[in-house]
Structure 1
Amino acid sequence: MDCASCAAKIDTALRRIHGVADANVSVSAGTVTVLHDDTVAPEALAKQIAMLGYRITGQVPTDAGTSPSASRNHDCHDHDHDHGSHGHGHDAEGVTGLHSHMHDHGAGEGPWWKSKRGLLTIACGLALVAAYAVGLAVPNVGRWAFLLAMMVGLVPIARRAIVAARLGTPFSIEMLMTIAALGAVIIGATEEAAMVVFLFLVGELLEGVAASRARASIQGLTKLVPKTALLERDGKTEEVSAESLPIGSIILVRPGDRIPADGTILSGESAIDEAPVTGESTPQRKGPEQNVFAGTINGDGVLRIRVDAAAQDNTIARIVRLVEEAQESKAPTERFIDRFSRYYTPAVVVVGGLVAVVPPLLFGAEWGEWIYKGLAVLLIGCPCALVISTPAAIAAGLSAGARRGLLMKGGAVLENIGKVTLAAFDKTGTLTEGRPQVTDVMPFGRAEHEVLSLAASLETGSSHPLARAILAKARESNVPFEPAMDAGAIGGQGVTGSVGGTSLFLGSPKAAAERAPFTMEQAERIAALNEEGKTVSVLLVDNQIAGLIAMRDEPRADAQAGLVALKRAGMDALMVTGDNRRTAEAIGAGLGIDVRAELLPQDKQAIVRELQARGHVVAKIGDGINDAPALAAADIGIAMGGGTDVALETADAAVLHGRVLDIACMVRLSRDTMANIRQNIAIALGLKAVFLVTTIIGVTGLWPAILADTGATVLVTANAMRLLRTREGT
């Protein structure tokens, strides 16, 4: 389907079937879900849709027993349906699932000129050229030639108009077009009528191509995932379908291959090109225990990966599903335009009728001239451009965001994010990486690399976060180390072991002080590091203090830039965290952000309420279960990438790839989308106003009038498509 009028006709027609309780039509996904009782046969739904001129493809199987055809298997998306006592859900796609019907003027799959509407437009154009040639050669039959050329395009249009009227939509664009064309023939403007019909078909075709492009922009993400995967099974590797990979299975990904599933690296190290999914231009170096996304490209190393998500739940599938669902949630502006258009079209018919009859009846004007103007007013007043102005921009904005990992659950969310005045950030995993990193290595009487090497030897094989931070720092610094002998942990104190006959201990300052006293200088350094919110581990070699290793959960690489970008956008920022005050204030001071620390989940929620009471429009950004109450309370809740499922479900939007800078990008996208909507409404109404005046005063006629409608429709659609070209950081 190409526009909201398509959806309205299908919605109205299906609701007129006895036994249908509800119908939900998706323009963006090209689907409709129908809730009905047992008296409705799925074939009746298919027939009603087909009567309107839509092609029905595919079929979604529903639960067994819901209908005679529910057990049929078809390749289509699964949807959750209501199978309660009041009826059965059927996705309108085929018989049971009726899920992916397309208007025949959509571009669909393949080139536009092979579509039914494309062929009709070409035939009408050729007939128009032939009529023109006949008119030049035999002027006496020229009018009849143009009449035949007009009928090539008008007959299918009139048929759709009549069916739509029978099924509850009398004021369709096809009906206005039919009335105008036939009226023009009656008053002798046959050549113009033929041209108007051809221009109408061209406009619909262009609208269909643009709508298909918008739809394909998000569906194209699914093509990033490879069809096959190398599965390790019983010590052997075999090629299997990527869609069949179960959670927990082990796959092998060779250099240069796309990763077929979301998972965790078990062995191997490689540069992962995440640009196709995240837009990140620099490949990310990843190794064991790090996560990878389906559709990203493995660079230079062989990877063994444990599959963490089934094909229907991987990152790309979730993006596509969330965007399709989001596009069904209308923005306030879109809902207003929908309500306005219900009264607008009948009003246009009334105005056209008044223009045609009032001047001749009351002022003795010429009937032919004013009927002609009344017909032109009908064409000018067609609501297509106005109706599509908002949903086209919303769909393009949601798709553009999704391709960069910015998911927004509906048009209302996309519209409101741009109104946010204050962003409240969680700390751990949101402003920071969510894992400790070594920040300082301070040796005493030894080389820095030696302290790091000995500490890494003690921590080899440990999965403790602090141990992993030390091991990561040693690898990053290319410091050699070997596993310590007789390594063991002392509960609440640290770890012990030996390397080359030398006894080692790595633990807390308190535990180390019991084994070797600190000098004044050493104690001061530990205190200074603690003041900076860092955790300090002390290394002892043969019960002598050899060095200090300080660690802290550091800010994300783009945290500073992200907060600066928000400030430039006119937004304030605040850190709300359950972490200890000293650590939070140290991080906050480095980022230049106000801090509220040592908060419980209900405290975060209370702060959000407090800020709202002060008049702020609040966005809460977090990634943990303890953020869920505040995310729900905020005007806009945004879950950070890698966050818990609870946070993702509670939030209104999600930044999948964990960049603080993406919050500012989301705000910018919202504001760009709303500016685009305002431009579209101005184009739609402005062109109509101009041509209405010029038609009334006799400057323009029928074919410029159809340009005012189809031209405006194409212009607003093309303007909305500009949002798809939004680039990273813009």
Structure 2
Amino acid sequence: MNEYRVKGLTCANCARELQEQIQKLEHGDSAILSYNTAKLKLDPKVSMNAVRNVLKSDGAYIEENTHDHDQEHVHEHEHSHKHGDEGHSHVHAPNTAIKRLLIIATVIFGTALFVDGKIAVPLVISLYLISMALSGYQTFMKGIRNLLHFKFNIETLMTIALIGAIGIGEWKEATLVALLFGLNELLEGLGMEKARKSMETLLQVAPKKATVLKDGMESIVPIASLNALDIVLVRSGEKIPSDGVVAEGRSSVNEAAITGESLPVEKKVNDPVFGGSINNEGVLKIKIEKAYQDSSLAKILHLVEEAQETKTPTELFITRFAKYYTPAIITVSLLVLFIPPLFFGGEWSKWLYQALAVLIIGCPCALILSSPIAIVSGITRNARNGILVKGGVFLEQLGHINTLAFDKTGTLTKGEPHVEQVKCYDEQRFYEIAYAVEKSSTHPLAKAIIKHLDEQAVFAADPDEIETVSGLGIKAKIKGCSYYVGNEKSMEHIRMPDDIRQAINGFKEEGLTLVLVADDSKILGMFGIADEVREESKAVIQALHARGVKHTVMLTGDHQKTAEKVAKLVGVTEYYSSLLPEDKVNKVKEMATKGVVAMIGDGINDAPALASADLGIAMGKGTDSAIETADIVLMQDHLGKLPEAISIAKRVNTIIKFNISFSLGLKLIALLLAIPGWLTLWIAILSDMGATIFVTLVSLTVLIQKK
């Protein structure tokens, strides 16, 4: 599929109709034209001349030399040459030219109003007609074509209203209809363009080229040509081209494009780096681990763009509603035209005027714009914060959740053991023996102990002999004496005094994992080790409760005591322990019967539960399977931005409901004015335009982010 940027799309409904026309072309059945992204995806076999002619019929055109972010196809003009479609030119002016035409039309309209009654009537009418043509010609031509094909949409309504107003000699109103509808369409386009530009700014973080080092020589290549194991040079201020590890150098890196975190992260040799992040100072040599198209940044850009293509239930409802709404408005206007004169002796001219006003107020512009700008703005705003929402439907769902289930390890906790408590019975030997024995071990518990002892500045020589006993611990000889470091079972040779047995039971009661240190006859001390709870977990749970998430549930495979301890520390409303992956799935399904459930996790064993929840949320530095399964991805290695994401989703949902209520409510009030004959074309035009501008501006407020 080739991808092109399209300019001049005036509304979502128009884009849908153009897509249907392109799909009727030879090889065009797979064509996709998105109003939200202003992009057209086509089979390479489709005739570009035919496509341009379809777009031209609605005032749209393909922007020159445009291609997608993944560089999956060549420039548009190169593609055209392959098919012999050369020498085309833009047939429609961009927004700046449309603005100029509207300004000229407005000046002429003002002049006509000023000279009305002062010069010959035909001259005044000529001025109105010129103003009308400059501002409404395109709408009028579309409307005529629609009428000939019995297709009823916004342009059809406006064309009927124009013809009717001219027919009854209402030149001022007819010109104002054309002028303000032209302005209305321009403002609609500008509103959507603002949302698109905000998204495009986000997408521009992708680096374009990389400096590859080979045999001591530097060469600049497109990032699409990078391969795994390539070494690239990244100087101060440059973007890292793809995911990899630091092979040489030390620097701080700005990862905001990936994680949404503004604070720089220190990087040294063997530390992982993301493509799209910026090297702040110094020079780094990066060993590329993934081709660009498989990098985190490429996945983010792909997910964000795909997210704009999906339709929410609300948008689908509006599309279906608008399909029947326009014919219904035409029916109402006919009733307004015929019933008062035929049954109540009303004047035909008066009720024709009222019927025209009904047509104008019936325009569904504001209704159609109620959702898409808000959705794109919400997805963009979350993406800026390092939160990837894979579609508008998931953003809408995020605003409705009332239950949030958490995996414990790596989500509420760091997924790394740390020493939480220590009991020492022989201070002279306990720390040194523990350090000497554990420093050569790669076991996670040993690493936690060494990290703790390093903080205490403990140092010890290597043991004379060392033996690892699987499932028990380590046995070592130091200065001729035997020592043991391990669990309770490794200490069966020792008779435990009551105070030590009591201390062991106390550690167990607190859900701690035990590592004991002993010689041949007695316990020298013990470490109580736990998975460290994330600093932000408690505050995040509180913030979620404050944002209307009624139930926070922890699901874990750990035993009951550990689960109980973590649950109390972080403040979840419920917890379930000793769960297998299939048990987590069953719990999620059970909770889903009582409300909208989101599940958040980071491990491979969380993927089934993420998939079975109404909404799956993955930690970005978790496994690929969890990220691919999830509907929302947190690119940070913490939960800190989750409450804000829910707030944004709730705000988007509130704005959409408000926009729909406001646009329909305003039309209802105006239609009620038609019953006593109080509705004028001026009121109809201004209220329709005002509603459209208002819902657009309200939707764009989602993009406003407090610093």
Q: TM-score range by the shorter chain?
A: 0.7 to 0.9
User: Which residue, 645, 669, 672 being the options, matches 1:690?
Assistant: 669
1:487 positional shift: 9.3
Q: Which residue of 1 aligns with 2:691?
A: 712
Aligned to 1:431: 412
Question: 1:397-447: CA deviations, max 9, x gaps?
Answer: 222222223333333322223332322211112221122234345555558
Counterpart of 1:627, as a letter, is: D
Does 2:571 correspond to 1:592?
yes
Say yes or no: does 1:534 pair with 2:512: yes
Letter in 2 for 1:431: L
For residues 54 and 688 of structure 1, do their structure 2 counterparts lie closer, same or farther at Cα, with a shift above 3 Å needed?
Answer: same
Contact 1:266–1:305 (Cα < 8 Å) also in 2: yes
Cα distance per residue 1:615-673 (max 9 Å; x no partner): 23322222222222222222222222223222223223222324334443333333222
Over the residues paired in the alignment, what is the CA RMSD in angstroms? 4.1
Q: Which one of the candidate residues 697, 703, 706 is aligned to 1:724?
A: 703
Deviation for aligned residue 1:200: 1.5
Equivalences for 1:250-269 in 2 at 5 Å? 250-254=231-235, 257-265=238-246
2:538 pairs with 1:557: no
Change (3 A) 1:125 1:507: farther
* 1:14 aligns to 2:22 (yes or no): yes
Q: Distance in 1 between matches of 2:101 and 2:477?
A: 84
Among candidates 46, 59, 68, match of residue 76 of structure 1: 68
Instruction: Please give the secondary structure, in 2, of the residue aligned with 1:389.
Output: coil
Determine the structure 2 residue equivalent to 1:84.
Answer: none
Does the CA-based 8 Å contact 1:532-1:586 persist in structure 2?
yes
Is 1:217 the counterpart of 2:192? The answer is no
Which deviates further from its counterpart, 383-392 or 578-587? 578-587
Tell me, in whole angstroms, the C-alpha distance in 2 between the residues paired with 1:482 and 1:277.
42
User: How many angstroms apart in 2 are the aligned matches of 1:252 and 1:545?
Assistant: 54
Deviations 1:106-134 (A, max 9, x none): 97xxxx52xx4334323323433454565
Residue 334 (structure 1) shift:
1.9
Which structure 2 residues correspond to residues 396-435 of structure 1 after superposition, within 5 A? 396-435=377-416
Any conservation in 2 of the 1:379–1:709 contact (CA below 8 Å)?
yes
The 1:24/1:562 distance shift into structure 2, 3 A limit, reads same
Cα pair 2:56 2:91 within 8 Å, conserved: no
Q: Structure 2 vs 1, CA of residues 546 and 248 (structure 1 numbering), >3 Å: closer, same or farther?
A: farther
**Alpha-carbon shift at residue 393 of structure 1 (Å):** 2.2
Equivalents in 2 of 1:373, 1:685: separation in Å?
Answer: 19
Q: Which amino acid aligns with 2:39?
A: T
Give the TM-score, by structure 2 length.
Answer: 0.84
| Aligned match for 1:118, one of 99, 106, 118 | 99
CA deviation vs aligned residue, 1:24-46 (integer Å, no higher than 9, x gap): 4322122344689x8x6454334
What SS does the aligned partner of 2:309 have? coil
- Number of the residue aligned with 1:248: 229
| 2:386 counterpart letter in structure 1 | G
For 1:141-152, what aligned pairs fall within 5 Å after superposition?
Answer: 141-152=123-134
Q: Say if 1:519 and 1:104 are closer, same or farther in 2 by CA, change over 3 A.
A: farther
Q: Which amino acid aligns with 2:35?
A: V
From the superposition, tell whether residues 544 and 125 of structure 1 become closer, same or farther in structure 2 (CA, over 3 Å): farther
SS, match of residue 703 in structure 2: helix
Q: Which stretch of the first structure deviates more once superposed, 712-721 or 191-200?
A: 191-200
Contact 2:362 2:667 in 1 (8 A): yes
SS in 2 for 1:246: coil
Cα contact 2:494–2:520 (8 A) shared by 1? no
Q: Of 545, 548, 568, which aligns to 1:567?
A: 545
**Partner residue in 2 for 1:68:** none
Percent of residue pairs identical: 37
| 1:191-206 paired onto structure 2 within 5 Å | 191-206=172-187
Distance of 2:531 and 2:282 partners within structure 1: 29
Aligned partners of 1:289, 1:524: CA distance in 2, in Å? 44
1:13 alignment partner AA: Q
SS of the equivalent of 1:553 reads strand
For the residue of structure 1 that corresponds to 2:659, the secondary structure is helix
> Residue by residue, what CA displacement relative to the aligned partner does 1:258-304 show, whole Å, maximum 9, x if unpaired?
44333344566555444454343544455555544333344566555
Within 1, Cα distance between the matches of 2:419 and 2:566?
Answer: 15
Does residue 45 (structure 1) correspond to residue 51 (structure 2)? The answer is yes
1:54 aligns with 2:60: yes
Shift of 1:306: 3.6
Residue 699 of structure 1 deviates from its aligned partner by: 4.4
* Equivalent position SS for 1:425: strand
Partner residue, 2:3: none
Deviation at 1:541, TM superposition (A): 9.9
Aligned to 2:610: 631
Give the drift of 1:246: 2.3
Distance 1:392 1:104 in 2: 27
Residues in 2 aligned to 1:631 and 1:671: alpha-carbon distance in whole angstroms = 21
Secondary structure of the residue that 1:196 maps to in structure 2? Answer: helix
TM-score normalised according to structure 1 size? 0.81
Contact 1:453-1:474 at 8 Å conserved across structures: no
1:337 match: 318
Match of 2:374 among 389, 393, 400: 393
Taking a change above 3 Å as real, the CA distance of residues 252 and 386 of structure 1, as seen in their structure-2 partners, is: same
| SS of match in other structure, 1:595 | strand
Alignment check: 8 A CA contact 1:143 1:191 kept: no
Asked whether the equivalents of residues 106 and 208 of structure 1 are also in contact (C-alpha less than 8 Å), the reply is: no
Whether contact under 8 Å (1:453, 1:479) holds in the other structure is no
* Equivalent-residue separation in structure 1 for 2:184 and 2:346 (angstroms): 33
Q: Secondary structure at the match of 2:369?
A: helix
Aligned partners of 1:445 and 1:104: how far apart in 2?
89
Cross-structure match for 2:38: 30
The one-letter amino acid paired with 2:293 is Q
Offset at residue 386 of structure 1 (A): 0.8
* 1:667 lines up with 2:667 in the alignment: no
In 1, distance between residues paired with 2:80 and 2:191?
25
Deviation readout 1:42-79 (Å, 9 max, x if unpaired): 543343233222111368xxxxxxxxxxxxxx743469
Cα deviation, residue 484, structure 1: 5.2
Cα distance in 1 for partners of 2:251, 2:523 equals: 37
Whole-Å Cα distance in 1 between the matches of residues 120 and 375 of structure 2? Answer: 50
Deviates more, 1:604-613 or 1:125-134: 125-134
Gaps of 5+ in 2: 1-8
Pick which of 699-708 and 252-261 moved more.
Answer: 252-261
Which residue identity does 2:534 align to in structure 1?
R
> Is this contact kept in 2: 1:52–1:164, CA < 8 A?
no
Q: Is the 8 A contact 2:438 2:450 kept in 1?
A: no
CA distance in 1, matches of 2:134, 2:522: 97
Which residue is 1:347 aligned to?
328
Shift of 1:23: 4.8
Look up the match of 1:4. 12
Q: Which residue of 1 aligns with 2:140?
A: 158
C-alpha distance after superposition, 1:12-31 (max 9, x if no partner): 32344477545543221223
Tell me what 1:71 maps to: none
Mark the CA change 1:555 to 1:32 in structure 2 (over 3 Å): closer, same or farther. same
* Between 212-221 and 4-13, the greater mean CA deviation after superposition: 4-13
Aligned length: 686
Cα separation, partners in 2 of 1:209 and 1:441, compared to 1, 3 Å: farther
From 356, 362, 365, give the equivalent of 1:384. Answer: 365
**Would the alpha carbon gap of residues 634 and 458 (structure 1) be closer, same or farther in structure 2, given more than 3 Å must change?**
closer
Shift of the alpha carbon at 1:343?
A: 0.8
What is the rounded CA distance, in whole Å, between the counterparts of 2:30 and 2:671 in structure 1?
38
- Quote the Cα distance in structure 2 between the aligned partners of 1:506 and 1:105: 83
Output the CA distance in 2 between the equivalents of 1:420 and 1:193: 49
> Structure 1 residues 557 and 703, CA, compared in 2 at 3 Å: closer, same or farther?
same
**Displacement after TM superposition at 1:681 (Å):** 0.7
